[in-house]
Chain A
Amino acid sequence: MKIIHCPLNGPRNAQEFVCGGEVKFPPAESAAPSDAADLEENTRGWVDYIFMEENRAGVVREWWCHVASGYWFIAERDTISDTFLRTYPSQELMNRPVNNGTGS
């Protein structure tokens, strides 16, 4: 049985967690599209955010959730060796200035 280190709850059984997918950021907030080319550009940003995946063979940075406590955090994981390298609270990633569409 695999053990995952939850930043909030410590080492817990892997079955208590779900993977929330790669850390991605939505496209920057933009004004209403003015023409067709603008709309297409706008759509492409969202298509990329919603559907496309880096899907790396190697180290990835993902959202994970400890379901029992509803706690979301960030995990760095190796997808070739199936090992968790590091888990940490999402604030560590989110508190730095990022263009995540909230305008902050």
Chain B
Amino acid sequence: MPLGLLKYGLRKKYQGRRYFPAAAPLRPCYDVVIIGGGGHGLACAYYLARDWGIRNIAVLEKGWLASGNTARNTAIIRSNYLTPEGALFYEESLELYRSLANELGINLMYSERGHLTLAHTDAAIRTSRWRAEVNKHLGIDSELVGVDEIRRLCPQLDLSDKTSYPILGALYHPPGAIARHDAVAWGYARGAMERGVEIHQQTEVTGITIEHGRVTGVETNRGRISAGKVVQAVAGMSSVLARMAGLKLPIRSIPLQACVSEPLKPFLDPIIVSGSLHVYVSQSARGELVMGGSTDPYPLYSTRSTLDFTEGLMGPMLELFPFLRHAKVLRQWGGIADMTPDFSPIMGLTPVKNYYIDAGWGTWGFKATPVSGKRMAETIANDRAPELLRPFELARFDRLQQVGERGAASVGH
């Protein structure tokens, strides 16, 4: 062994730098307690500290950092939604994402690939045109393209009319991107911790203390913590936690599964989605095809994987890319999605004073991480939801004013 290297390695001067500051002990009182150490909770803590000067914050995570849906999504970012409320909300997220790597000082591997939502029927063409027109009106880069343009963007697709459901056109969204989801959470976590936020892992909330309609603290497996304000950001377990606060939500917990192939040479630039075939796919930086489909057929709190899912996914995949018939699936996993009746999230105030909710993230949560964090922080700091979040309040169901995104939220529901 080269002696120089050994000397270098043993010198105190060159010790490795901790990525996260050392964890602080759990204290009995905080201004804000954020339940859930995933992307949304961490982003919320970061913006509370950065924009609103609220630093006495604890983020409580029952497992480890970003171990839930932040680590299980398929990392797609886009804003070509159907309703003006939805499209404007996700567009702000996309803009935040573009400068996020610089801001957090971490490589998010943010990669703009373009996003093609294939249409195989006249009805799908109609919806695509509708989405394109809504998007363009709001200044979002989105258009309906024909088969020739699809061939130029993605020549690997089987665009012949020999398939069961020939491709007729597509909704093309050039800013569609993918990013490294873990890094988003780590970046926010470090940014928040540097500003004084405490992150407590292995800390599970077991109860919520409410006095006279106002939240005053939380019970945890490590003891009671009193809190001025409490936020829940626990997509996948939203109903269970909300019940502790006496709230009933319009959410069904349904698994969403995904899988990746073995690494292949880079061949697929855009993100390909087909609502009619219930499949979406992108190629990651290390060559794996990241594939997903529709949610499971019934509600469940188990993240088990099923063969039914993989089998059902591969038929349409081979219809789009017949040459993949020899490619192997490397791994498969599931996450629990908060499905709402209108396919939009639930954010903002609740009937319990000082208790805020960030839930209902179904299959669309990762792309909204920055904007939900930033705007939830604003909501908490002012005890008032900003205009952008108003349409997504829990109370929208009492007013019968849903934000219908079923046609644009994901595939095959």
A1 nearest in chain B by CB position: B308
Is B386 positioned at the interface, with any CB of A under 8 Å from its CB?
A: no
Interface size class of chain A, counting residues whose CB lies under 8 Å from the partner chain: 20 to 34
Q: Does the CB pair B398–A53 fall under 8 Å?
A: no
A98 close to chain B: CB less than 8 A = no
Task: Tell me the complex Cα distance, A14–B298, Å.
Answer: 11
Which chain B residues (220-254) contact chain A, with CB distance < 8 Å?
Answer: 237, 239-240, 248-253
B199-229 interface code vs A (CB 8 A; 1 in, 0 out): 0000000000000000000000000000000
The answer to whether B308 touches A15, judged by C-beta atoms less than 8 angstroms apart, is: yes
Is B341 close to A, CB under 8 A?
A: yes
Q: Does chain A have a CB within 8 A of B323? A: no
B299 interface hit (Cβ, 8 Å): yes
Q: Are A82 and B251 within 8 A (Cβ)?
A: no
B301 at the interface (CB under 8 A from A): yes
Q: Select from chain A the residue with minimum beta-carbon distance to B237.
A: A57
CA distance A56 to B304 in the complex (A): 18
**B297 and A18 within 8 A (CB):** yes
| Bound-state Cα–Cα, A25 to B121, Å | 38
Interface residue A34 (Cβ < 8 Å from any Cβ of B): no
Pair A43/B398 contact, Cβ less than 8 Å: yes
Residue of B nearest to A52 (CB): B248
Structural contact, B249 and A81, CB atoms closer than 8 A: no
- In angstroms, Cα B312 to Cα A15, docked, is 11
Taking CB atoms, residues of chain B closer than 8 Å to A79 are 253, 299-302
Output the nearest chain A residue to B302 by Cβ-Cβ distance: A82
Chain B, interface size: which category? 20 to 34
Are A80 and B301 within 8 A (Cβ)?
Answer: yes
Does B1 interact with chain A (Cβ within 8 Å)?
Answer: no
Instruction: Decide yes or no whether B400 CB sits under 8 A from chain A.
Output: yes
- Residues on B with C-beta less than 8 A from A82 are 300, 302, 304
A81 to chain B: which residues have CB within 8 Å?
Answer: 302
| Shortest Cβ gap from B401 to chain A (Å) | 11
- Contacts between chains A and B (CB distance < 8 A), count: 59
Q: Does A102 contact B (CB under 8 A)?
A: no
Tell me which residues across on chain A come within 8 A of B248, comparing CB atoms. Answer: 48, 52-54
Q: Cβ of B321: which chain A residues have Cβ within 8 Å of it?
A: none
Q: How far is the CA of A19 from the CA of B400 in the complex (A)?
A: 25
A21 to B341, CA, bound (A): 12
A51 to B252, CA, bound (A): 10
Residue from A47, A54, A56, A80 within 8 A of B398 (CB atoms) = A47
Contact B249 A52 (CB under 8 A): yes
Q: A18-B297, A47-B397, A47-B400 are in contact. Are A53 and B302 (CB under 8 A)?
A: no
* CB proximity to A under 8 Å, residues B304-354: 304, 307-308, 341
Is there contact, CB below 8 Å, between A55 and B299?
yes
Q: Counting CB contacts under 8 A, is A44 at the interface? A: yes
Provide the residues of chain A in CB contact with B341, threshold 8 Å. Answer: 50-51
CA distance A30 to B361 in the complex (A): 36
Tell me the complex Cα distance, A47–B394, Å: 12
List of B residues within 8 angstroms of A47 by Cβ:
397-398, 400
Chain A residues whose CB sits within 8 angstroms of the CB of B400 once the complex forms: 43, 47
B158 to chain A, nearest CB (A): 27
| Cα of A21 to Cα of B237 in the assembled complex, Å | 18
Q: Please indicate the chain A residues that have their CB under 8 angstroms from the CB of B304 in the complex.
A: 82
CA distance A79 to B270 in the complex (A): 37
Q: CA A50 – CA B248 in complex, angstroms?
A: 13
Interface centre among B239, B251, B301, B304 (most CB of A within 10 A): B301
Tell whether, in the assembled complex, residue B249 and residue A53 are in contact, meaning their CB atoms are under 8 Å apart: yes
Measured between beta carbons, the chain B residues less than 8 angstroms from A50 are 341
B398 touches A55 (CB 8 A): no
Known A1-B308, A47-B397: A19·B297 in contact at CB below 8 Å: yes
A51 near B250: Cβ-Cβ < 8 Å? yes
B287 CB → nearest A CB, Å = 32
Residue of A at shortest CB range from B238? A55
Assembled-state Cα–Cα distance A53/B266 (Å): 44
What 1/0 mask marks residues of chain A from 76 to 104 whose CB sits below 8 Å from any chain B CB?
A: 00011110000000000000000000000
Which 9 A-B pairs have CB atoms at the shortest separation, nearest pair first?
Answer: A55-B239, A19-B298, A51-B250, A57-B301, A52-B248, A51-B397, A82-B302, A79-B301, A80-B301
22 contacts between A and B (CB under 8 A): A1-B308, A18-B297, A19-B297, A43-B398, A44-B398, A47-B400, A48-B248, A50-B341, A52-B248, A52-B249, A52-B250, A53-B239, A53-B250, A53-B251, A55-B249, A55-B253, A56-B240, A57-B239, A57-B240, A79-B299, A80-B301, A82-B304
